Structure 1
Amino acid sequence: MNKVIWAYQQSCQLKSDLKDASRKIQEIVSQLPEQVNAAQVDLKQLQENLVNCLTFFLICANYISRLEEQENRIQTNLNKYNKRL
């Protein structure tokens, strides 16, 4: 049962980290229309924001993958635990 609890705690932390990264993506994306529609488009800043956005997308994908691993770990260990009961 300890493995289930540990995996659950890990998944809670991953979920929190995923929410933080998601908020950062939303902040960047919400600024893009203003940057694109500005009278003087700062291409360097726009490029930097797009790169940051892609970086956070990669981070989110990693968190999602790790969350799926924790879900599988929890399911496997719960099944083992139930068989022992």
Structure 2
Amino acid sequence: MILGNSPENILISTQPKEDFFEAQSDFIEPIGNRIIIHLVSMKIKMKAKIEKIKEINKGSKVWVKFPPDRILLFDPKNGDKIFP
């Protein structure tokens, strides 16, 4: 299965939190009053779209959470959505 989540649904913290996993910011892309953070965790790349946080720069350690009610699952063979 392939796990998917929209960048605007990913939660980011600059401090460790319960149920969040650690990632590192690889690139910061400003878009108006928000930013897209390109992240890497365990060699997996992902993007999060959040309000600007001045403590986050390239190379910053952050903590990430995928809200369970926003997770999407896809079939790796044909790309069809399995859940929800």
**TM tier, shorter chain?**
under 0.3
Q: Which has the higher strand share?
A: 2
TM, length-normalised to structure 2: 0.21
Relative contact order, higher structure (CA 8 A, sep 6+): 1
TM-score, normalization: structure 1? Answer: 0.21
Structure showing the higher helix proportion among its residues: 1
